[in-house]
């Protein structure tokens, strides 16, 4: 049922998303972001290296005992199964890289590490950046740490545990945040809590990315509330991700774009 709903929502999105490749975008800032970040097809040196890790994960038969704080369920699952079904695609990982590169983000927070592929994309753009990535499962975090070592990435700190309990402490360690990627508990209550806590550390140039905004009606509800937030100026809906801007030079505007 969830899969049918997502397919239906994607069709609706495709038919109603008219602002593509910068056309129909009146803000110079958002036009530039659309043209040089969202639709930029350039490849960077780190992309093939990270994608080799993905291929390796898809063939990794190790079994992990995973605790899901979102559902409260424990399960045994292979690395390959998680890699094949749950990791963000290269397309979106590389978009995160370009967003980090564009914004020159130095202080980055990721909620939901998984095996660290998106984390690696976030960490590879600006060598002096600091990335804190939060993961609920220690076995999954251990695989991510292996991947960071393989890629020789040294600017990532992983915090393991229930994000509901650890987020406040992590945020207190930052004076401000330039980019935040939310890809953790897929319940509106949790997403909105993460968002409200995180914006206490943002500035006018900050960007927040919310993943899987149409994953369920509950997630869609959270996305709609985020769009209406008084501090939000502009959003871009790519279906898989929602991008949130807080720049005071922007007027309140919400774009749907095909990607």
Q: Is residue 123 part of a domain?
A: yes
Q: Is residue 66 part of a domain?
A: no
Q: Is residue 216 part of a domain?
A: yes
Q: Is residue 132 part of a domain?
A: yes
Q: Is residue 137 part of a domain?
A: yes
Please report, rounded to a whole number, the percentage of residues in the chain having pLDDT higher than 70. Answer: 95
Q: Is residue 74 part of a domain?
A: no
Specify the CATH number for the domain of residue 242. Answer: 3.40.50.150
- The answer, yes or no, to whether residue 69 has pLDDT greater than 70, is no
User: How far, in Å, CA of 113 to CA of 136, rounded?
Assistant: 8
- When pLDDT is averaged across residues 68-89 and rounded to a whole number, the result is 86
pLDDT value, residue 198: 97
pLDDT in tens, 106-146: 999 999 999 999 999 999 999 899 999 999 999 999 999 99
pLDDT in tens, 176-211: 999 999 999 999 999 999 999 999 999 999 999 999
Give the total number of structural domains in the chain. Answer: 1
Q: Which long-range contacts (CB under 8 A, 24 or more apart) does 222-230 make?
A: 222/188, 222/191, 222/192, 222/195, 225/188, 225/192, 226/191, 226/192, 226/195, 227/254, 229/195, 229/199
Do 112 and 183 meet the contact criterion of CB atoms below 8 Å apart?
Answer: yes
- The answer, yes or no, to whether residue 3 has pLDDT greater than 80, is no
Q: Is residue 155 part of a domain?
A: yes
pTM of the predicted model, to two decimals?
0.94
**Domain assignment of residue 172, given as a range:** 2-52+88-256
User: How far, in Å, CA of 31 to CA of 24, rounded?
Assistant: 9
CB atoms within 10 A of CB 249: 11
Q: Is residue 80 part of a domain?
A: no
């Amino acid at each position: 049922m969830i899969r049918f709903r997502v397919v239906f929502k994607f069709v609706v999105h495709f038919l109603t998303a008219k602002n593509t490749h910068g056309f129909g975008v009146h803000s110079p800032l958002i036009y530039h972001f659309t043209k040089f970040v969202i639709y930029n097809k350039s490849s960077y040196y780190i992309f093939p290296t990270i994608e080799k890790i993905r291929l390796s994960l898809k063939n990794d038969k190790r079994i992990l005992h995973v605790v899901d704080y979102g559902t409260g369920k424990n399960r045994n699952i292979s690395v390959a199964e998680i890699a094949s079904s749950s990791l963000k695609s290269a397309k979106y990982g590389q978009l995160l890289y370009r967003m980090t590169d564009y914004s020159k983000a130095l202080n980055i927070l990721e909620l939901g590490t998984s095996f660290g592929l998106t984390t690696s994309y976030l960490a590879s753009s600006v060598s002096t950046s600091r990335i804190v990535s939060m993961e609920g499962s220690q076995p999954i975090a251990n695989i991510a740490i292996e991947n960071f070592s393989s890629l020789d990435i040294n600017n990532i700190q992983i915090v393991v545990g229930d994000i509901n309990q650890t987020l406040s402490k992590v945020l207190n360690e930052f004076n401000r945040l330039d980019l935040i990627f939310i890809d953790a508990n897929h319940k509106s209550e949790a997403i909105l809590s993460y968002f409200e806590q995180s914006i206490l550390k943002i500035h006018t140039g900050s960007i927040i990315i919310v993943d899987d905004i149409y994953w369920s009606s509950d997630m869609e509800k959270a996305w709609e509330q985020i769009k209406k937030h008084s501090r939000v100026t502009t959003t871009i809906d790519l279906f898989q991700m929602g991008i949130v801007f807080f720049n005071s030079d922007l007027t309140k505007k919400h774009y749907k774009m095909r990607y």
